[in-house]
Amino acid sequence: MGKYIVGITGASGSIYAKRVIERLIQKGHHVCICMTQAGKLVVESELGWQIGQDTPSGEVEQYLQEIFGSKELIHHYDVHAIGAPIASGSSGMDAMIVVPCSMGTLSAICHGSSHNLLERAADVCLKERRPLVIVPREAPYNQIHLENMTKLSGYGAVIMPASPGFYSRPRTIEEMVDFFVTRILDQMGIHEPSESRWTGMDVCVK
């Protein structure tokens, strides 16, 4: 099956990351997770994950494998491990999703700074012409944010602000999250049937 990178940063919206990972491993894909230090704080606050700032990467990996119920498909790389496999284009990753993506990380990716593994992995996706999906979670946007997103789009990334739709009449937060995650997976080349997909309506405008 495929190999995908999920980057988690310090913006709100880590529930999207959790659901993306769940959906990927349900289909038998390998998932490489990389979290920034701020990302660890957010998942603790929003999801209740207990991942200390200085917890060794192996222990974090084991913890995540327990959360997602898979030892074979879940891999974790410390954000400072710049020599990890996902730092090289030869590692053969299929795509990367940064969800949620803070404005700081978005700026770093846009300008190719590659100060940490997450930024470097995103840079690799761009240079190798592999799908890179950025899910910014910020409001409102200032001109710097907008210009950086425009530049990244021009460089080949897909910019997908966390914007769930409502035409499927979601009844729970989980249904809203699933709607948007289906759209994310579409951009990663993974197309799944979903009840939330638009099927049209019998309306004519005169």
Annotated binding site for FMN: 10-12, 36, 102-105, 137
Say how far apart CA 121 and CA 31 lie, in whole Å: 13
Cβ-based neighbour number of residue 25 at 10 Å: 19
User: How far apart are the C-alpha atoms of 62 and 150, rounded to whole Å?
Assistant: 38
Q: Which residues are annotated as a binding site for dimethylallyl phosphate?
A: 167, 183
Q: Please enumerate, by residue number, every residue annotated as part of a binding site.
A: 10-12, 36, 102-105, 137, 167, 183
Q: How far is CA 57 from CA 61, 76, 102, in A?
A: 6, 7, 22
DSSP designation for 86: G
Q: What is the DSSP letter of 157?
A: P
